[in-house]
């Protein structure tokens, strides 16, 4: 059976190719809005405010009122088609935090990334 035949059979029975996902680490350093826009269509995204763990401050993210462009991703992982994002307010981001985030130090703080 040729490759073209296999693809045709897959299409006929309704199998769709998995979307191409960027590595979860590529979302680190982006705003939540940028990360969600970059995720494949149909993927769910969950944001977790890590202000307590990273900044030693009270969480401030309120999904009802906060703009996703005011929080930066410091940790990210995929669990199937769910993208889990650990975020902190942009006002708390420092170069040290960005370096630690890129090194994956905050990944373990995000539910679903363990």
pLDDT band at 12 (very low <50, low <70, confident <90, very high): very low
Residue 5 has a pLDDT of: 24
Assessment of whether the complete model's pTM goes beyond 0.85: no
- Distance set, CA 90 to CA 22, 42, 69, 70, 87 (Å): 23, 27, 9, 6, 9
> Degrees (nearest 5) of the Cα angle 112, 73, 58?
85
Q: What percent of the chain has pLDDT over 70?
A: 77
Q: Report helix, strand and coil shares of the chain as percent, to nearest 5.
A: 40, 20, 40
38-97: pLDDT as tens digits: 888 878 888 899 999 999 999 988 764 567 789 999 999 988 778 899 999 999 999 999
Query: Which of 14-18, 24-28, 74-78, 86-90 is predicted least confidently?
Result: 14-18
User: Which H helix or E strand runs over 54?
Assistant: helix 51-55
39/81 Cα distance (integer angstroms): 10
47-60: pLDDT as tens digits: 899 999 999 999 98
Residue 3 has a pLDDT of: 28
């Amino acid at each position: 059976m040729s490759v073209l035949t296999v693809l045709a059979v897959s299409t006929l029975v309704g199998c769709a190719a998995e979307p191409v996902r960027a590595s979860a680490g590529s979302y680190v350093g982006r705003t939540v809005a940028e990360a969600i826009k970059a995720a494949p269509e149909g993927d769910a995204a969950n944001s977790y405010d890590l202000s307590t763990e990273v900044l030693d401050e009270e969480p401030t993210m309120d999904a009802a009122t906060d703009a996703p462009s005011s929080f930066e991703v410091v940790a990210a992982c995929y669990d199937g088609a769910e993208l889990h994002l650990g975020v902190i307010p942009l006002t708390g981001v420092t170069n040290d935090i960005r370096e630690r985030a890129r090194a994956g130090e905050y990944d373990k703080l995000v539910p679903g990334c363990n």
